[in-house]
């Protein structure tokens, strides 16, 4: 196992009817900006619960943060923060609203030329404006990590940012919010969390027995609850396990002391930037090709995953590894998620070259756990996913 340090300061408030607890988490003298997305929270009662909890705290609001949070929209929220002298941010939404809020937390205290530099120059945020979250969509893990991904439509870019100053102070996880989530987003959430685990687990053995079993248990839990959540999002037992699995998949714990990959996310973000495909679906498109392309370097962990998670008992290491990739693709297909780019766009030809060129231009020459994947390799992986 590699050396590591682990600190995660986010307080999790988990369970039924917990939204009211934000009252005691936000300082009473704060001036709050409540941030939300396209308005789902006004239809499912979450907005009313949040507003009731904030009744004694000075609050103004900013709605309309789109899925794949857009830089231009966030700049308008930044103006509000500055004009209104906001001191505390509250994100009420899924990964997009929470990520947008993280960008604002960083940008509010940033004194450089343009806040876009935080993304383009990869500036780490050591200190941001304090914020909390009320999670409405289990998927990204953003509610308990310090990363964010921001989109700029104008230039078709989708870039990541983060830093130790960007952990939420608290996150409220009430699994009852799952009740109103459309099936497409439920399938996305399961897939995104599943892929977060695979990106931190499907590398090479390093003797981290506990981290491997953390990862496998999250995968097994997701596989077990996925059909139940999709069939009946009011099934509280299933949704509690779904929600906690998504958070645990990307709160930093399972990646400590082990190599991580993240190439699937790197390539997937480009597919969202180019075609607007939902984040989770881009991962389901790229993952099978990525694992097939890198079979040689990943086969031991792939076979372990096949044995322990999918109960594959037949064949040698390579056969088990291949069967595990097949099982993964079938799992995504079973959630209603297509795993070929051509199912999402007719304009797919040339995508591989475009993405390879973008990586070359950015100087991204060593992706994957061995930092060995070149833009040419990425081109091949994307072509295999057509």
Element (H, E) at 374: none
216 binds Zn ion (CB under 5 A): no
Q: Which of 99, 174, 192, 369 is close enough to bind Zn ion by CB under 5 A?
A: 192
142 binds ligand NZQ (CB under 6 A): yes
* Residues within window 321-340 making contact with ligand NZQ, judged by CB under 6 A: none
Compute how many residues bind ligand NZQ; rule: CB under 6 A: 33
44 contacts which partner out of Zn ion, ligand NZQ, none, CB within 5 to 8 A by kind?
ligand NZQ
199 contacts which partner out of ligand NZQ, Zn ion, none, CB within 5 to 8 A by kind?
none
Cα separation, 43 vs 49, in Å, equals: 12
Element (H, E) at 10: none
Work out whether strand 131-135 and strand 157-162 pair parallel, antiparallel, or are unpaired: unpaired
Between residues 192 and 270, which has the closer beta carbon with respect to Zn ion? 192
Cα separation, 362 vs 358, in Å, equals: 6
Residues in the chain: 386
Between residues 192 and 278, which has the closer beta carbon with respect to Zn ion? 192
Q: Reduced to 3 states, what is the DSSP secondary structure of residue 327? A: helix
Binding mask 40-69 for ligand NZQ (x = CB under 6 A): xx--x----------------------xx-
* Residues within window 66-105 making contact with ligand NZQ, judged by CB under 6 A: 67-68, 93-97, 99
Between residues 279 and 322, which has the closer beta carbon with respect to Zn ion? 279
Element (H, E) at 369: none
Q: Which of 89, 181, 218, 367 is close enough to bind ligand NZQ by CB under 6 A?
A: 181
285 binds ligand NZQ (CB under 6 A): no
Q: Are 1 and 258 in contact (CB under 8 A)?
A: yes
What is the full DSSP assignment across 124-186?
Answer: --SS---EEEEE-S-SS-GGGSSEEEEEEGGGTEEEEEE-GGGS-SEEEE-GGGGGG--HHHH
| Crossing angle of helices 183-201 and 236-249, rounded to 10° | 40
290 binds ligand NZQ (CB under 6 A): no
Phi-psi domain of 336 (left: phi exceeds 0; alpha: psi -120 through 50; beta: other): left
99 contacts which partner out of Zn ion, ligand NZQ, none, CB within 5 to 8 A by kind?
ligand NZQ
Computed from CA positions of residues 81, 86, 90, 92, in that sequence, does the dihedral angle turn out positive or negative? negative
Stretch that binds ligand NZQ, among 13-21, 178-186, 234-242, 289-297 (CB under 6 A): 178-186
E-strand stretches of 3-71: 11-14, 32-36, 59-62
Cα separation, 329 vs 320, in Å, equals: 14
Stretch that binds ligand NZQ, among 16-24, 146-154, 341-349, 361-369 (CB under 6 A): 146-154
Q: Which of 104, 149, 219, 321 is close enough to bind ligand NZQ by CB under 6 A?
A: 149
Could you list the residues that contact ligand NZQ (CB under 6 A)? Answer: 37-41, 44, 67-68, 93-97, 99, 136-137, 139-142, 145, 147-149, 177, 180-181, 185, 188, 192, 250, 265, 279
Could you list the residues that contact Zn ion (CB under 5 A)? Answer: 192
């Amino acid at each position: 196992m590699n050396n590591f340090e682990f600190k995660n300061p986010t307080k999790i408030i988990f369970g039924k009817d917990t939204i009211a607890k934000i009252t005691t988490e936000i300082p009473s003298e704060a001036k709050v900006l409540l941030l939300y997305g396209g308005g789902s929270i006004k239809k499912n009662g979450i907005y009313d619960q949040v507003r009731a909890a904030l009744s004694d705290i000075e609050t103004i609001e900013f709605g309309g943060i789109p899925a794949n949070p857009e830089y231009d929209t966030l700049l308008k929220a930044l103006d509000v923060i500055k004009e209104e002298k906001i001191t505390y941010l509250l994100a009420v939404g899924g990964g997009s609203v929470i990520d947008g809020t993280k960008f604002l937390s960083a940008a509010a205290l940033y004194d450089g030329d343009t806040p876009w530099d935080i993304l383009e120059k990869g500036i780490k945020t050591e200190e941001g404006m304090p914020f909390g979250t009320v999670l409405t969509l289990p998927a990204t893990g953003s509610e308990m990590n310090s990363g964010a991904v921001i989109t700029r439509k104008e230039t078709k870019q989708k870039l990541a940012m983060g830093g130790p100053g960007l952990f939420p102070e608290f996150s409220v996880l009430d699994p009852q919010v799952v009740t109103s989530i459309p099936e497409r987003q439920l399938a996305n959430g399961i897939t995104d969390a599943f892929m977060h685990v695979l990106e931190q687990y499907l590398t090479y053995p390093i003797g981290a027995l506990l981290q491997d079993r953390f990862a496998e248990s999250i995968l097994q839990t997701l596989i077990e609850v996925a059909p139940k959540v999709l069939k009946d999002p009011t099934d509280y037992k299933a949704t509690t396990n779904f929600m906690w699995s998504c958070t645990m998949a990307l709160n930093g714990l399972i990646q400590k002391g082990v190599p991580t990959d993240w190439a699937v996310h790197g390539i997937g973000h480009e597919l969202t930037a180019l075609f607007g495909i939902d984040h989770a679906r881009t991962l389901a498109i790229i993952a099978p090709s990525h694992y097939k392309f890198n079979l040689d370097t990943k086969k031991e962990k792939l076979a372990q995953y096949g044995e322990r998670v999918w109960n594959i008992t037949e064949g040698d290491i390579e056969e088990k590894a291949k069967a595990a990739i097949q099982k993964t693709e079938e799992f995504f297909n079973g959630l209603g998620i297509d795993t070929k780019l051509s199912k999402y766009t007719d304009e797919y030809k040339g995508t591989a070259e475009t993405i390879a060129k973008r990586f070359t231009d950015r100087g991204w020459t060593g992706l994957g756990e061995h930092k060995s994947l070149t833009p040419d390799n990425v081109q091949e992986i994307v072509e295999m996913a057509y």
